[in-house]
Structure 1
Amino acid sequence: MTLAPEELQTKGYNSYSFNDFVQKREELDWYKDEPFLRKTVEKFLGKEFDTIHERLLDFSPKVSKDWNRLAEQLARPEVRPYMLHYDAFNNRIDRIVRPSETHQLEQAVFGEGLFSSKMSPWESFVKRILIHQLGEAGVACPLTCTHGLVALLGQFPDDEYPELHEILLHTKEGIDGDFAIGAQFMSEIQGGSDLPANVLEAVPEGKYYRLYGNKFFCSVAHADYSVVTAKISGTDRVSTFIVPSWLPGDKVKEKRNSYQINRIKWKMGTAELPTGEIQYDGAIAYSIGPKDKGIAVAVGIVLTLSRLEIGIACAGFMLRASREAHLYSDFRTVFGQKIKDYPLSAGKLKKIENAAQRTTAGAFKIYDLFLQLDKPLNPGLKSDQPLEVRKQLFNLRELVLLQKICTTSEGAEVLKEAISVFGGHGVMEEFSSLPRIFRDVVVNEQWEGPRNLLLTQIYRDISRVVDWYAPDEFVRNILEGASEVTIEKFAAKLTDLLKMPVLGHVSDESIEAAIEWDAFCSAFFKAYQEVALNEIRL
């Protein structure tokens, strides 16, 4: 028996629907419907804007709709990557099994040629901000690592290894439409971020090397090529190498380059990304960069780009969180009025929006400095460089570190606040992408050096350059455009902190100094972001 609508209402049937909200969310264009992002793009791209704007209008619907649907499908727990160690004939293959949606998304994203010489840096930058709004989605970290590999190969061309020219072509321009994926394997169980503690051994064999030992935390374990740090036999200095996952002709046979993937890590976030433990047993490797400056090469180029990208990703995360929280607050009615009409909710939404816009403005401003500098990626500052150049390079170095620790910390807070706007629905994985992106932010905070490590590095950096770069001048240069009161306040505080035992032996005094240093760095970078935001609003 079929009941009339009015009868259904009287028999406990609830006709409430989220359809209007879902439809509006699915119709959003993450570029066209984000006025602040478009305004920021217009300010920084200058003469390039008109051309790139049109390309972004074509590109954005793919990310906002098609790729987003794939990202949601491949994030399901039941399709997480897993290892298939042996084939049917008992051959060790260490195949990483990933869902078909991941392969579709990966081919589409890498097929854009984001690091190709045919694409301008600004176009790539804005497209990556849009891609990061997917969350990790199995492509964000691979993109970042590939960028680092491309930059490393470009910085140190080496005619001794024709293989490196082929790898650069494969990762940067693609070969017959196929774009290779890069990775960076540096962490070992005994050291983590402490690269000097590496014990992986590189044994010379003619002009090549063979690697022996273990890398314990290896994201993008499915990559075609990886940047690996190791110590050459008989030395105590870390060097940097490029390692192909398969030698020519072996990929189709699933015969790896003399290494095994012991297992895939089970992580709280970036779950779509295969992170493994790798055991090398004579893998062929190509040395790259000065052999006695492997750490400087790895950190100054590869990790710097990764840290820079994490800040860019946080801008994308926060923009999406703000957009969807505002959309839901305008849809959902509770206790007789919309969520956005409650002062407490309105204040939270304003806070989320401000954080998203500050973070976006700061990411653009730092990237603009990155593009202005000649060879901004350096394995250490050189004393023979002009003083002003050294200062600018130093500014960039510290801003990248500050952005990495501050945006990931605030990003987690912003995502948590945005989730709370949705109430109970905010923690439902099928209802919202925000819980997944929240976990990705938390994991990103640990990548490429956790907060305490980078806070220590920043303090040491500033302390080491005081003879040629006074703390008050550093503050004034970073906060150019802020009020004089703000500049003087931060300059005075930094000068005082450099006299305190921030890195001293543990005591009540050093603990308090360390707490003050942490708070200073957060406030200092937020002041920088405010300057960037005000420049866009003018």
Structure 2
Amino acid sequence: MSYPDRNNPYTFNPYLEWRKKVDYYQADPFVQKMIRVFAGDEAEKVDAEAAAFSKKVSFRWRDLAERIATPDNRPYMMHYDGHKNRIDRIVRPYEIEVMEKEVFAEAWFSPKTSLWTRFIKLYLLSQNSEAGLVCPLICTWGMADLLEKYADTPETRHILEHTRDGINGEFAIGAQFVSEIQGGSDVPANLLEAVEEDGRWRLYGTKFFCSAAHADYSVVTAKPKGSEEVALFVIPMWLDGNREKEIRNGFTIDRLKWKMGTVELPTAEITFNGAAAYPVGPLNRGVANVVGIVLTCSRLALSIGSAGGMARGLREVEKYGEFRTAFGIALKDFPMMAAQYLTNAGCVRRTIAGNFKVYKAFIELPGGLSVGLDGGGLSVSSKADEPPELRKHRFDVRQLILLQKITVARDAIDLSRLGISAFGGHGVMEDFSSFPRMFRDGMVNELWEGPRNVLLTQLFMDFQKVRNWYPPNEFAGRILQGADETLVRGFAKELEEILETPHLFDMDEKTIAVCGQWDDFCERFFHAYQDLALAEVEAAG
């Protein structure tokens, strides 16, 4: 029997001491196995680089991230200096500026950095739930891939060099400004105007969601004057010699957003008044390139990062279940909690396995993804005589990235909610665990790079565009090749039935019912793909 004691000696220190000593990579034998299975001849090198990187991210950068996440360290605007000069300085904590330099110095986008090393480093870095750093890193990935394909002027080649190889030891930080107040995800509704003046393009108008507003450069969508086509530009946030003077490149930062999540990340409303800009790619292919290259990289990276956060959450919940007791019993020994742990573990493992499988397909795809589909399913960069098998494979990867983004984004939120519940009342304490931050950031990530309903609609439209050369049942069979035949036949039949509806834009009972079925189907289908990936890994021994 217990009695009142004013000097209660209970402490969480044993659990905290364990948590302080965790090396993310060394504590994750499952992901080490994934590297051995998927990275092939590179596995040994990637393993060594991941182990070295983990020493930084698990300790020094973890501690910096926790300091940055406190409310008193939120970024804020200083619009004017003491002499009333407009400077639009984004004030961020010193810790994030230090960590940002150290992280970007890893040369993520250099040809010398293995694509598998990039994957595993992002997976590990994301375990610190520091969106003020991870988001610009992801944005820079898309910008780097875009410039690799289209940099063809001295200015764009200089930006590519700064991004990929660094200049004087400094690596560029990228952003992407696409959304406008009237359009949101409807990029063709952009009204930002690009005007060619004296041989140079300049931008006029406003962008409503500008994340990573502190970046060195940004990819921006705009319509050339007199055109209804959206073009793609890259802008320096300061022109040469003006950063030190705090003179912005022809734009003002009107305010920073007050968000529920990713609060360490400066997201701004920006007005352009003649910002110098450099076109990237054909002026009439801006939507295709921003979606097919920039947003594809972001969607892929968001899923990788979410898997990393889920892995850390699972590890800490399971250890807490060993440490914490209630009614004299360890939490892990309550059947209800044990069932929850099993649910969490299964979700995390299949998410990681699915991520590896999709990423491998992405990086091994000859010529990269399609940046658009026409009636024949040809990519803009493809030859007309591209083999049908390759065309289908290119389509498969495109759809898997979209399916993964919507599925993992929701699963990450669900896992965070379950994790908060496992910690009981402590679960909602911002300074007790990273779960509250993971949950808030997860809510934002589900919207970033395309809300769920937008991506579901895009998936449906894509399938309708290719039906004449790629039957739905064949797609289901290819994606789930190796799974139980009854399961595959069931999915194939359901997909064919759903696609009998020609589009999702009739406001009637039937279409609304199909929309609900499509949402449910996509999640179940991708979970089946993840389960298959996990089974393949387990079979590898």
Deviation at 1:11, TM superposition (A): 5.3
Q: 1:248: which partner in 2?
A: 240
Deviation at 1:250, TM superposition (A): 0.6
Q: Deviations over 1:231-253 (max 9, x none)?
A: 00111100000101011111111
Q: Deviations over 1:193-224 (max 9, x none)?
A: 10000010000124420100000100000010
Distance in 1 (alpha carbons) for counterparts of 2:52 and 2:297: 27
Q: 2:437: which partner in 1?
A: 436
Distance in 1 (alpha carbons) for counterparts of 2:124 and 2:240: 35
- Determine if the alignment matches structure 1 residue 89 to structure 2 residue 94: no
- Determine if the alignment matches structure 1 residue 193 to structure 2 residue 185: yes
Q: What is the DSSP-based 3-state SS (H/G/I as helix, E as strand, rest coil) of the residue aligned with 2:218?
A: strand
Which range is displaced more, 56-65 or 234-243?
Answer: 56-65
- Determine if the alignment matches structure 1 residue 35 to structure 2 residue 29: yes
Q: 2:375: which partner in 1?
A: none
Distance in 1 (alpha carbons) for counterparts of 2:503 and 2:235: 39
Deviation at 1:157, TM superposition (A): 2.8
Trace 1:268-283 onto structure 2 (pairs within 5 A): 268-283=260-275
Q: CA RMSD in A?
A: 1.2
Q: 1:421: which partner in 2?
A: 422
Contact 1:472 1:495 in 2 (8 A): yes
Q: 2:529: which partner in 1?
A: 528
Distance in 2 (alpha carbons) for counterparts of 1:316 and 1:167: 30
Q: 1:110: which partner in 2?
A: 104
Distance in 1 (alpha carbons) for counterparts of 2:341 and 2:53: 28
Q: Deviations over 1:64-113 (max 9, x none)?
A: 11111111100001110000000111110000000011112111111111
Distance in 2 (alpha carbons) for counterparts of 1:102 and 1:110: 12
Distance in 1 (alpha carbons) for counterparts of 2:395 and 2:199: 35
Deviation at 1:361, TM superposition (A): 0.5
- Determine if the alignment matches structure 1 residue 357 to structure 2 residue 358: no
Distance in 1 (alpha carbons) for counterparts of 2:20 and 2:36: 26
Which range is displaced more, 263-272 or 41-50?
Answer: 41-50
Q: Please, which runs of 5 or more residues in structure 1 have no aligned partner?
A: 1-8
Distance in 2 (alpha carbons) for counterparts of 1:134 and 1:502: 41
Distance in 1 (alpha carbons) for counterparts of 2:279 and 2:501: 42
Q: What is the DSSP-based 3-state SS (H/G/I as helix, E as strand, rest coil) of the residue aligned with 1:468?
A: coil
Trace 1:137-286 onto structure 2 (pairs within 5 A): 137-158=131-152, 161-286=153-278
* TM-score normalized by the length of structure 2: 0.96
* TM-score normalized by the length of structure 1: 0.97
Q: What is the DSSP-based 3-state SS (H/G/I as helix, E as strand, rest coil) of the residue aligned with 1:446?
A: coil
Q: Please, which runs of 5 or more residues in structure 2 have no aligned partner?
A: 373-378
Q: What is the DSSP-based 3-state SS (H/G/I as helix, E as strand, rest coil) of the residue aligned with 1:84?
A: strand
Deviation at 1:502, TM superposition (A): 5.8
Q: Deviations over 1:105-133 (max 9, x none)?
A: 11111111111111110011101100111
Contact 1:63 1:131 in 2 (8 A): yes
Q: What is the DSSP-based 3-state SS (H/G/I as helix, E as strand, rest coil) of the residue aligned with 2:79?
A: strand
Distance in 1 (alpha carbons) for counterparts of 2:115 and 2:60: 24
The code of the aligned residue for 1:105 comes to M
Deviation at 1:10, TM superposition (A): 7.5
Tell me the matched-pair count: 528
Q: 1:64: which partner in 2?
A: 58
Distance in 2 (alpha carbons) for counterparts of 1:532 and 1:507: 38
Distance in 1 (alpha carbons) for counterparts of 2:180 and 2:337: 45
Distance in 1 (alpha carbons) for counterparts of 2:73 and 2:465: 49
Trace 1:343-354 onto structure 2 (pairs within 5 A): 343-354=335-346
Are residues 254 and 520 of structure 1, via their aligned partners in 2, closer, same or farther at CA, if it must alter by over 3 Å?
same
Deviation at 1:386, TM superposition (A): 2.1
Trace 1:444-463 onto structure 2 (pairs within 5 A): 444-463=445-464
Deviation at 1:138, TM superposition (A): 1.1
Q: What is the DSSP-based 3-state SS (H/G/I as helix, E as strand, rest coil) of the residue aligned with 1:462?
A: helix
Structure 2 residue corresponding to 1:293, chosen from 279, 282, 285: 285
Contact 1:132 1:316 in 2 (8 A): yes
The code of the aligned residue for 2:99 comes to L
Runs ≥4 residues deviating over 3 A: none
Distance in 2 (alpha carbons) for counterparts of 1:510 and 1:211: 41
Are residues 502 and 321 of structure 1, via their aligned partners in 2, closer, same or farther at CA, if it must alter by over 3 Å?
farther
Q: 2:538: which partner in 1?
A: 537
Q: Deviations over 1:425-447 (max 9, x none)?
A: 11111110111011111100000
Structure 2 residue corresponding to 1:336, chosen from 310, 321, 328: 328
Contact 2:369 2:397 in 1 (8 A): no
The code of the aligned residue for 1:162 comes to P
- Determine if the alignment matches structure 1 residue 133 to structure 2 residue 127: yes
Are residues 297 and 12 of structure 1, via their aligned partners in 2, closer, same or farther at CA, if it must alter by over 3 Å?
same
Q: 2:371: which partner in 1?
A: 379
